[in-house]
Chain A
Amino acid sequence: MSAIHVPDLSLVVLVGISGSGKSTFAARHFGPFETVSSDFCRGMVANDPNDQQATAAAFDLLTDIVSRRLRVGLLTVVDATSLRPEDRAALVRLARENDVLPCAIVLDVPLQTALERHRTRTDRPFDESVLRKQHAQLRKGLSRIGREKFRGVTVLDSDEAIADARIERTPLRSDLRDRTGPFDIIGDVHGCLPELEQLLTELGYRVSADGTGARHPEGRTAVFVGDLVDRGPDSAGVLRLVMGMHAAGDALCVPGNHEAKLVRALDGRNVTLSHGLEATMAQLQRGTEAFRREVRDFADSLVAHLVLDEGRLVVAHAGLKEEFHNRASGRVREFALYGDTTGETDEFGLPVRLDWAADYRGDAMVVYGHVPSPRAEWVNNTLCLDTGCVFGGQLSALRYPEKEIVAVPAQKEWYPPVRPLDSSATGEANRPLRIDDVLGADAVETSRGGRIRVAPERAAAALATMSRFAMPPELLPYLPPTMAPAPTSHEEGYLEHPRTAFGYYAKRGLRVICEEKHMGSRAVALLVRPGAHVTAPAWAPQHTEADTRPGAAPYPDTSAVTEAEADTGGVLSSYVYTRTGRAFFADEEASARFAHGAAVIAEVAGLFDRLDSDWVLLDGEILPWNLKAQGLIDELYRPAAAAGLAETQAVGDALRRAEARGVRVLEREKTPDPTDVASPAASWTREQWEELSAFRAAVERYVDEAGEPQFAVFQVLASAGRTWHEEPHDWHLEVADSLVAAAGRSVSSGLAAHPPATGASATAAGPCTPLFLKTRRVVLDPADATQVEQAVDWWVDLTSSGGEGMVVKPLENSRAGRDPGRVQPGLKVRGKEYLRMIYGPDYDRPERLTGLRSRNLKHKQSLALREYALGLESLDRAVAGEPLHRVHLPVFAVLALESDPVDPRL
Chain B
Amino acid sequence: MVRHTEAMFFSLTLRTDPAVADPAAADPAAAGTDAVATDAAEVPAAAAADAAAAEAVPTPDARDLGHLLHKHPDRVHEQKLAFGTARVFYPEADHDSCTAALWVEVDPVKLSQLSSFRRDSFSLSGYINDRKWAASSLLAVALRRVFSTAMAGTLTSRPALPRQEFALEATIAAVPAAQPEIAALFEPLGWEVDCDSEPATADTVTPQVTLRGRSTVQALLNQLYVLIPVLDGGKHYWVDESEIDKLLDRAGSWLGSHPQREPIMRRYLAEQRSYVRTARTRLDARVTERSEAAAPRSEGTGTPDSDGEPPTPAPLRARRLAAVLDAIRRLRPRTVVDLGCGEGALLGPLLDDPRMARVLGTDVSPSELERARRRLGLDRMPARKAARLELFQSSLGYVDDRIAGVDVAVLMEVIEHLDPADLTTAETTVFRHAAPDHVVVTTPNSDYNVLYPDLDGMRHPDHRFELSRAGFAAWAERICVEHGYVVDFHDVGDAHPDVGPPTQMAVFSRRFDEALRDDTQTEGAA
A residues with a Cβ closer than 8 A to B are: 188, 190, 227, 256-258, 261, 274-275, 334, 338-339, 341, 344-347, 349, 351-352, 359, 369-372, 386, 418-419, 431-435, 437-439, 457, 460-461, 463-464, 466-468, 471-473, 555-562, 565, 580, 632, 634-640, 642-651, 653-658, 661, 663-665, 670, 688, 691, 837-842, 845, 847-848, 850-851, 898-905
A651 vs B174: C-alpha distance when bound (angstroms): 11
- Using known A-B contacts A341-B520, A654-B91, determine if residue A472 contacts B526 with beta carbons closer than 8 Å: no
Enumerate chain A residues within 8 angstroms of B11, measured Cβ to Cβ: 650, 654
Enumerate chain A residues within 8 angstroms of B99, measured Cβ to Cβ: 654, 657
The reply to whether A663 and B76 form a contact with Cβ atoms under 8 Å apart is yes
- Using known A-B contacts A346-B432, A434-B398, A658-B89, determine if residue A837 contacts B128 with beta carbons closer than 8 Å: yes
The reply to whether A558 and B398 form a contact with Cβ atoms under 8 Å apart is no
A237 vs B127: C-alpha distance when bound (angstroms): 79
- The contact sample of 13 A-B pairs, CB cut-off 8 A, is A275-B524, A339-B520, A346-B516, A432-B428, A435-B399, A457-B366, A460-B366, A636-B124, A638-B201, A642-B174, A642-B198, A661-B90, A840-B108
Enumerate chain A residues within 8 angstroms of B471, measured Cβ to Cβ: 560-561
The reply to whether A901 and B205 form a contact with Cβ atoms under 8 Å apart is no
The reply to whether B429 and A654 form a contact with Cβ atoms under 8 Å apart is no
Chain A residue nearest in CB terms to B206: A646
The reply to whether B481 and A555 form a contact with Cβ atoms under 8 Å apart is no
Enumerate chain A residues within 8 angstroms of B400, measured Cβ to Cβ: 434-435
Enumerate chain A residues within 8 angstroms of B433, measured Cβ to Cβ: 432
The reply to whether B207 and A347 form a contact with Cβ atoms under 8 Å apart is no
* Other-chain residue from A555, A663, A851 in contact with B90 (beta carbon distance below 8 A): A663
Chain A residue nearest in CB terms to B202: A642
The reply to whether A636 and B130 form a contact with Cβ atoms under 8 Å apart is yes
Enumerate chain B residues within 8 angstroms of A557, measured Cβ to Cβ: 424
The reply to whether B128 and A636 form a contact with Cβ atoms under 8 Å apart is yes
The reply to whether A261 and B425 form a contact with Cβ atoms under 8 Å apart is no
The reply to whether A561 and B467 form a contact with Cβ atoms under 8 Å apart is yes
- B 163-203 binary contact with A (CB < 8 Å = 1; else 0): 00000000101101000000000000000000010101101
The reply to whether B435 and A344 form a contact with Cβ atoms under 8 Å apart is yes
The reply to whether A900 and B422 form a contact with Cβ atoms under 8 Å apart is no
With A346-B432, A838-B124 given, name 15 new contacts (CB 8 A).
A345-B518, A346-B483, A432-B429, A433-B398, A558-B421, A639-B134, A639-B201, A646-B133, A647-B134, A647-B174, A651-B103, A663-B74, A665-B76, A898-B122, A902-B121
Enumerate chain B residues within 8 angstroms of A435, measured Cβ to Cβ: 394-395, 398-402
B92 within 8 A of partner (CB): yes
Q: Kindly provide the distance from the CB of B438 to the nearest chain A CB, expressed in whole angstroms.
A: 16
The reply to whether A472 and B5 form a contact with Cβ atoms under 8 Å apart is no
Chain B residue nearest in CB terms to A372: B526
Counting chain A CB atoms within 10 Å of each CB, the highest count among B6, B125, B482, B524 belongs to B524
The reply to whether B124 and A848 form a contact with Cβ atoms under 8 Å apart is no
The reply to whether A657 and B91 form a contact with Cβ atoms under 8 Å apart is yes
Chain A residue nearest in CB terms to B127: A905
Enumerate chain A residues within 8 angstroms of B425, measured Cβ to Cβ: 431-432, 472, 555
The reply to whether B525 and A643 form a contact with Cβ atoms under 8 Å apart is no
Enumerate chain B residues within 8 angstroms of A261, measured Cβ to Cβ: 524
Residues B461-497 near A (CB distance < 8 A): 465, 467, 471, 474-475, 478, 481-484
B397 within 8 A of partner (CB): yes
List the 9 closest A-B pairs by CB distance, nearest first. A646-B207, A657-B91, A650-B173, A643-B174, A643-B133, A560-B475, A851-B2, A467-B395, A639-B130
The reply to whether A640 and B478 form a contact with Cβ atoms under 8 Å apart is no
B420 within 8 A of partner (CB): yes
A371 vs B518: C-alpha distance when bound (angstroms): 12
Enumerate chain B residues within 8 angstroms of A559, measured Cβ to Cβ: 478
- Using known A-B contacts A261-B524, A902-B121, determine if residue A646 contacts B364 with beta carbons closer than 8 Å: no
The reply to whether B521 and A644 form a contact with Cβ atoms under 8 Å apart is no
A341 vs B520: C-alpha distance when bound (angstroms): 7
Number of interface residues of B (CB under 8 A): 93
Enumerate chain A residues within 8 angstroms of B133, measured Cβ to Cβ: 640, 643-644, 646-647
* Other-chain residue from A344, A461, A648 in contact with B517 (beta carbon distance below 8 A): A344
B62 within 8 A of partner (CB): no
Residues B1-54 near A (CB distance < 8 A): 1-3, 5-9, 11
The reply to whether A352 and B174 form a contact with Cβ atoms under 8 Å apart is no
Enumerate chain A residues within 8 angstroms of B483, measured Cβ to Cβ: 346-347
- Using known A-B contacts A463-B393, A845-B3, determine if residue A658 contacts B122 with beta carbons closer than 8 Å: no
- B 63-98 binary contact with A (CB < 8 Å = 1; else 0): 000000000001110000000000101111100000
Q: Kindly provide the distance from the CB of A784 to the nearest chain B CB, expressed in whole angstroms.
A: 37
Enumerate chain B residues within 8 angstroms of A651, measured Cβ to Cβ: 7, 9, 101, 103, 173
- B 391-411 binary contact with A (CB < 8 Å = 1; else 0): 001111111111000000000
The reply to whether B207 and A899 form a contact with Cβ atoms under 8 Å apart is no
The reply to whether A555 and B128 form a contact with Cβ atoms under 8 Å apart is no
- Using known A-B contacts A642-B198, A643-B130, A840-B127, determine if residue A345 contacts B516 with beta carbons closer than 8 Å: yes
Counting chain A CB atoms within 10 Å of each CB, the highest count among B7, B133, B201, B474 belongs to B133
- Using known A-B contacts A341-B521, A467-B395, A561-B475, determine if residue A431 contacts B3 with beta carbons closer than 8 Å: no
A562 vs B2: C-alpha distance when bound (angstroms): 56
Q: Kindly provide the distance from the CB of B291 to the nearest chain A CB, expressed in whole angstroms.
A: 40
The reply to whether A338 and B520 form a contact with Cβ atoms under 8 Å apart is yes
Enumerate chain B residues within 8 angstroms of A649, measured Cβ to Cβ: 173, 207-208
The reply to whether A345 and B524 form a contact with Cβ atoms under 8 Å apart is no
A655 vs B366: C-alpha distance when bound (angstroms): 48
B123 within 8 A of partner (CB): yes
B365 within 8 A of partner (CB): yes
Chain A residue nearest in CB terms to B109: A851
* Other-chain residue from A341, A558, A640, A847 in contact with B3 (beta carbon distance below 8 A): A847
* Other-chain residue from A344, A650, A656 in contact with B516 (beta carbon distance below 8 A): A344
The reply to whether B424 and A555 form a contact with Cβ atoms under 8 Å apart is yes
Enumerate chain A residues within 8 angstroms of B259, measured Cβ to Cβ: none
B118 within 8 A of partner (CB): yes
Enumerate chain B residues within 8 angstroms of A636, measured Cβ to Cβ: 123-125, 128-130
Q: Kindly provide the distance from the CB of A196 to the nearest chain B CB, expressed in whole angstroms.
A: 16
A322 vs B171: C-alpha distance when bound (angstroms): 73
- Using known A-B contacts A274-B523, A437-B398, A467-B397, determine if residue A657 contacts B200 with beta carbons closer than 8 Å: no
Chain B residue nearest in CB terms to A428: B428
Q: Kindly provide the distance from the CB of A467 to the nearest chain B CB, expressed in whole angstroms.
A: 4
Enumerate chain B residues within 8 angstroms of A839, measured Cβ to Cβ: 127
Enumerate chain B residues within 8 angstroms of A656, measured Cβ to Cβ: 91
Enumerate chain A residues within 8 angstroms of B394, measured Cβ to Cβ: 435
Enumerate chain B residues within 8 angstroms of A643, measured Cβ to Cβ: 130, 133-134, 174, 176, 205, 207
B126 within 8 A of partner (CB): yes
Chain A residue nearest in CB terms to B483: A347
Q: Kindly provide the distance from the CB of B233 to the nearest chain A CB, expressed in whole angstroms.
A: 11
The reply to whether B124 and A904 form a contact with Cβ atoms under 8 Å apart is yes
Q: Kindly provide the distance from the CB of A82 to the nearest chain B CB, expressed in whole angstroms.
A: 35
Enumerate chain B residues within 8 angstroms of A371, measured Cβ to Cβ: 520, 525-526
Q: Kindly provide the distance from the CB of A85 to the nearest chain B CB, expressed in whole angstroms.
A: 32
The reply to whether B2 and A386 form a contact with Cβ atoms under 8 Å apart is no
Chain B residue nearest in CB terms to A345: B518
B140 within 8 A of partner (CB): no
- Using known A-B contacts A640-B128, A642-B200, determine if residue A460 contacts B393 with beta carbons closer than 8 Å: yes
Enumerate chain A residues within 8 angstroms of B465, measured Cβ to Cβ: 561-562
B204 within 8 A of partner (CB): yes
B266 within 8 A of partner (CB): no
A769 vs B156: C-alpha distance when bound (angstroms): 74
A664 vs B481: C-alpha distance when bound (angstroms): 81
B423 within 8 A of partner (CB): yes
* Other-chain residue from B2, B124, B208 in contact with A905 (beta carbon distance below 8 A): B124
Enumerate chain A residues within 8 angstroms of B422, measured Cβ to Cβ: 467, 472
Chain A residue nearest in CB terms to B476: A560
The reply to whether A640 and B130 form a contact with Cβ atoms under 8 Å apart is yes
* Other-chain residue from B75, B467, B517 in contact with A663 (beta carbon distance below 8 A): B75
A830 vs B372: C-alpha distance when bound (angstroms): 44
B236 within 8 A of partner (CB): no
The reply to whether B123 and A904 form a contact with Cβ atoms under 8 Å apart is yes
A848 vs B107: C-alpha distance when bound (angstroms): 12
